[in-house]
Amino acid sequence: RRSSMSGAKSWIVDVLGLRRQSARAQAQPPALEGALPASVGSRRAPLQPAPQRAINGSSARLANTSSPSEALEVLRKATAALETHFAQEGTRGIAAEVLGNDQSNKEIAVLVRGQLCTALSRVLLHGFKSFKLIGRYHIWDFVQQASISTRERLHKGGASTKSADEQQRERAEQAMAAAVEAVNSLDAGGEGGPVNNPNIKFRSFVCSGLNAGLLHEWIGVINADKQTMNKFYKAWACVRDH
């Protein structure tokens, strides 16, 4: 299994890059589920949280045991559907702002909040150590811990002279950590408010990454810290390097 999944992590990052400039156009969806504000100039009001189908309960347990090839194929199809959606800008003359605005185009909410978030969660749940001493870990726990580790590493600093790639990596790390902090600081609407739901927080994080055009880089960042990966993932998880 390991040999067949070699390089899987970079493959995931490549897929989430969407391989086209549509990645930045696609950044318009949310205001979804209490997500971070969308691009500057958007006047859309946040949508009400959608029913949680993708990454809780039995769905999470199923995703945790599904084959990596199946999970990766679902993710590939979800990103391909987004590419097809935004290709309408050229084929039908529909502005990208309209295609990505979930107030005027409901399809984008389904493609991002439904299909993409579900597909990405299935990949991230492969080999995920969901059980802890009391209760269960959620994907959002992993993202938060990765953010903490990233902040600590950034605080320690490093070489004063960095290559262009290292500078880009650092910008992605800073943006990812800031996004996690922003998602956690959203008005929770009371103790039982929707923003306290880790499913919604994870989806908000994905939406924020799309808005910034950096989701593919953020996935690379959260998988970079070995200590965090060892805590949350088994050795054979497809998101790990082999």
pLDDT at residue number 112: 92
Q: What is the pLDDT confidence band of residue 131, given thresholds at 50, 70 and 90?
A: confident
pLDDT at residue number 11: 44
In this structure, are residues 115 and 217 in contact, taking their beta carbons and an 8 Å threshold? no
Does the pLDDT value for residue 28 go beyond 60? no
The string of pLDDT tens digits covering residues 189-221 is 555 555 678 999 999 999 999 888 899 999 999
As a whole number, mean pLDDT of residues 116-141 equals 92
Does the pLDDT value for residue 129 go beyond 90? yes
Q: What is the pLDDT confidence band of residue 125, given thresholds at 50, 70 and 90?
A: very high
- Quick one: how far is CA 18 from the chain centroid? 13
Does the pLDDT value for residue 233 go beyond 70? yes
The string of pLDDT tens digits covering residues 58-97 is 344 444 556 888 989 999 999 999 999 989 988 888 888 8
Mean pLDDT of the chain, nearest integer: 75
Residue 45 DSSP code:
P
Q: What is the pLDDT confidence band of residue 176, given thresholds at 50, 70 and 90?
A: very high
Burial of 38 (0-12, 13-18, 19+ CB in 10 A): buried
Least Cα distance to 172 among 115, 215, 204 occurs for 215
Locate the domains of the chain by residue range. 3-232
